């Protein structure tokens, strides 16, 4: 059987290991970190994954979807809080009745995927081994061992899944006609997840959010009696309000009293004394396939902003799309596999990247004017949005609850926008005509 080398043993790397392991390939995964199954859950640097239809279809293909659903929490509703007002309960705009977003801890899912991958005897994980470079001349992968020595390894197919700051991708930057871009958004995040004794104020299965000027706080209750709390804020807000642990405590006391009462002063003080706000990066590549044997996948190919929850979903779908193309081309068509995958996936993921950035721009506007998102006007707008979603599902709805290609979602959204603009123009013309007729009637009198 052919062999596949996977650089990076995170979520996308582990999903690929499961899928290729099931197909009988000889799989070797190189991961720079230690085995996560021996580590405590990380704090301060991550937030829950939001798995939609794309990710769940991939997990179903692997055969662990039911186990993942039991670990996670299905979300169909959200409660938005503004300043001192009561929270507003809303249903997510679903594509069909049975849809939901599954929230789950990243590290727990990673452990389950590694366990599943290693259930195949042909899959090997080499923890503490960092893939550092692809040598174009000898067509081999360079790997740094735990003792610092360099080894070269060879495989029929190489999958680069080593994240947004991929070292393998960096070694490809001199490749002709390969364009790469990255940009950071102005919003950072802090994770304040904590075990909890009593959360009677918050319920399982609801996405809670609090909006203040320049700030969004999100809270989710997990099945294991932990509370995931993620603070998203402009870096200037962090600098002005959370420059010291003491200031951070006061900031939570003033603006997020309910969350403060649940997680406590000690945890807030500890988190902000030990961790700094994490930056969020967006990455795009002009192509994902190289040398007829190497593919960039997941964040290494298309790191996305997290505000529409498509990063992990898109990465998981990368793996499924690759398997679907492999079924068509067969093991003897690796050259065709790499070319087809790059052609299909590059444009789609860049489209999603663009959608995520547009969503971020809108989010920043809403964060600066949080009051504008609520009140009677918002209720009317929300009601209209739900009605329109039946005929014209939003970009988020289609992305989250279907496997519609991202490029097709963009096309449909553009058509819907044109239709809505034509409706607005028609109403405007009708109003002008009515006003003109009223003026004429008044002038005739």
Give pLDDT, residue 308: 86
User: In the predicted model, what is the mean pLDDT of residues 213-231?
Assistant: 91
What's the CA angle centered on 300, arms 296 and 306, to 5 degrees? 130
- pLDDT digits over 133-150, tens only? 999 888 899 999 999 999
User: In the predicted model, what is the mean pLDDT of residues 396-416?
Assistant: 87
pLDDT at 45 exceeding the cut of 60:
no
Give pLDDT, residue 23: 95
The residue whose two tokens read 């042909």 is 122
The closest alpha carbon to 409, from 346, 339, 354, belongs to 354
Residues facing 263 on adjacent strands: none
User: In the predicted model, what is the mean pLDDT of residues 187-214?
Assistant: 87
pLDDT at 289 exceeding the cut of 80:
yes
Helix axes 245-255, 257-274, angle to 10 degrees: 160
User: In the predicted model, what is the mean pLDDT of residues 423-433?
Assistant: 76
For the chain, domain boundaries? 3-72+104-183+282-365, 187-274, 370-444
Weakest-pLDDT range from 167-171, 371-375, 406-410, 431-435: 371-375
Q: What confidence tier does 387 reach under pLDDT thresholds 50, 70, 90?
A: low
The closest alpha carbon to 315, from 113, 107, 54, 65, belongs to 54
Q: Taking the domain 3-72+104-183+282-365, which CATH number applies?
A: 3.50.50.60
Give pLDDT, residue 25: 97
Token couple for 91? 């249903």
Give pLDDT, residue 49: 93
User: In the predicted model, what is the mean pLDDT of residues 31-45?
Assistant: 74
The closest alpha carbon to 187, from 144, 237, 143, 224, belongs to 237
The residue whose two tokens read 């039991």 is 70
The closest alpha carbon to 231, from 271, 264, 202, belongs to 271
Residue 404 backbone dihedrals phi, psi, to 5 degrees = -55, 135
Give pLDDT, residue 117: 98
The closest alpha carbon to 217, from 206, 226, 207, 225, belongs to 207
- pLDDT digits over 242-274, tens only? 999 999 999 999 999 999 999 999 999 999 999
Q: Is 13 exposed, middle or buried (0-12, 13-18, 19+ CB in 10 A)?
A: buried
Give pLDDT, residue 384: 52
Sign of CA dihedral 314, 315, 316, 318: positive
pLDDT at 393 exceeding the cut of 60:
yes
- The Cα–Cα gap between 99 and 92 comes to 9
């Amino acid at each position: 059987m052919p062999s596949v080398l996977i650089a990076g043993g995170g979520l996308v790397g582990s999903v690929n290991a499961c899928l290729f392991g099931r197909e009988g390939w000889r799989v070797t995964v190189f991961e720079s970190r230690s085995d996560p199954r021996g580590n405590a859950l990380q704090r301060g640097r991550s937030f829950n994954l939001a798995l939609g239809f794309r990710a769940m279809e991939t997990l179903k293909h692997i055969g662990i979807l039911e186990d993942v659903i039991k670990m996670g929490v299905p979300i169909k509703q959200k409660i938005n809080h503004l300043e001192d007002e009561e929270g507003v309960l809303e249903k997510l705009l679903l594509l069909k009745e049975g849809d939901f977003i599954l929230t789950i801890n990243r590290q727990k899912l990673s452990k389950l995927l590694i366990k599943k991958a290693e259930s195949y005897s042909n899959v090997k994980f080499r923890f503490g081994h960092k893939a550092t470079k692809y040598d174009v001349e000898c067509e081999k992968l360079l790997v740094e061992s735990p003792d610092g020595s360099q080894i070269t390894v060879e495989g029929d197919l190489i999958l680069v899944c080593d994240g947004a700051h991929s070292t393998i991708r960096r070694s490809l930057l001199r490749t002709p006609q390969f364009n790469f871009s990255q940009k950071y958004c102005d919003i950072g995040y802090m994770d304040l997840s904590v075990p909890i004794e009593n959360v009677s104020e918050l319920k399982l299965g609801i996405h809670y959010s609090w909006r203040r000027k320049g700030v969004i706080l999100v809270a989710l209750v997990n099945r294991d009696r932990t509370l995931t709390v993620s603070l998203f804020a402009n870096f200037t807000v962090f600098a002005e309000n959370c420059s010291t642990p003491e200031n951070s405590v006061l900031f939570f006391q003033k603006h997020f009293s309910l969350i403060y009462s649940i997680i406590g002063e000690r945890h807030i003080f500890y988190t902000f004394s030990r961790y700094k706000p994490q930056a969020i990066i967006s990455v795009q590549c002009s192509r994902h396939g190289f040398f007829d044997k190497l593919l960039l996948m997941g964040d290494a190919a298309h790191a996305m902003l997290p505000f529409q929850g498509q990063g992990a979903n898109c990465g998981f779908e990368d793996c499924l799309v690759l398997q679907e193309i492999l079924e068509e081309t067969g093991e003897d068509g690796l050259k065709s596999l790499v070319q087809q995958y790059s052609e299909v996936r590059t444009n789609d993921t860049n489209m999603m990247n663009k959608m995520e950035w547009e969503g971020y721009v809108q989010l920043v506007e809403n964060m600066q004017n949080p009051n504008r998102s609520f009140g009677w006007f918002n209720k009317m707008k929300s009601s209209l949005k739900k009605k329109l979603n039946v005929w014209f599902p939003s970009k988020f709805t289609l992305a989250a609850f279907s496997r519609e290609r991202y490029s097709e979602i963009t096309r449909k959204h553009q058509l819907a926008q044109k239709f809505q603009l034509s409706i607005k123009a028609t109403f405007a013309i009708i109003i002008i005509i009515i006003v003109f007729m009223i003026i004429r009637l008044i002038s005739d009198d």
